Amino acid sequence: MTFEEALKKVNEANEKIVEANRMVSDAIMHSFLFTWRWWIGVSLIVLPWIAWFIFRDKQSTGRLLTACFFVMIFSAVLDTIGIESGLWAYPVKVIPSPTLSFSFRLSVLPVLAMFFIQFKPKVNPFLKAIIYGSFAAFVGLPLLSMIDMYKRVRWEYAYSFFVLTGMYLCAYWLYNLNSFERVQTLKPAGTAVEMNMNFLRKKQKIK
């Protein structure tokens, strides 16, 4: 295959991606929009974030969001790989994106991880990770499958359990990074006026 032929194939693939996006948008606009499944999807996007905003640990908001963003990015990458590899799919969607589930991956999973991290912080994180992975893989995904919001193709719930358990442990590690404590304990150097005043006091003492 020559370089020009390869470019032609890439252009053809891009056209198919655009066509796939158009097909997903048409399905949402003409079949899924405002159905009960669509409203469930919307609720799964909005309600977890409202609950987190109300019940979050305000003193640890920054660290919780760090763990949250990791879960969101990891989930987005995982979904892209999984869907493009034909491992699973999301038939019913809220937002026209062929490779992402905004309801589950970008709302339920990250918010649930933040609640698990802040609730009972002294509990063994490995136990929490197992509970988190079990609930998401063996309860959440099957429920989504029952209402056609998730479809396994060449994938098993057990695989999701191991992936989600590891993902939670990574998020927990990010939450507990010592760098957060070091930033909080650093003392400010002081303003220029304060530094000048200290210099004058020392000068007077020397005199």
Residue 127 bridge partners (DSSP): none
* Greater model confidence, 83 or 1: 83
Nearest-angstrom CA–CA distance, 41 and 88: 18
**Cα separation, 59 vs 47, whole angstroms:** 22
pLDDT reported for residue 2: 85
User: For position 22, what pLDDT does the model report?
Assistant: 87
- Provide the β-strand partners of residue 89: 151
| Mean pLDDT on 105-123 | 93
Average pLDDT over residues 107-124: 94
Per-residue model confidence as pLDDT tens digits over 183-204 = 454 545 455 555 555 655 655 6
Full-model pTM: 0.81
Average pLDDT over residues 128-135: 98
Report domain extents, the chain.
1-33, 36-180
- Decide: 66 and 174 in contact? Cβ < 8 Å: yes
State the pLDDT confidence band at 75, using cuts at 50, 70 and 90. Answer: very high
Average pLDDT, the chain: 86
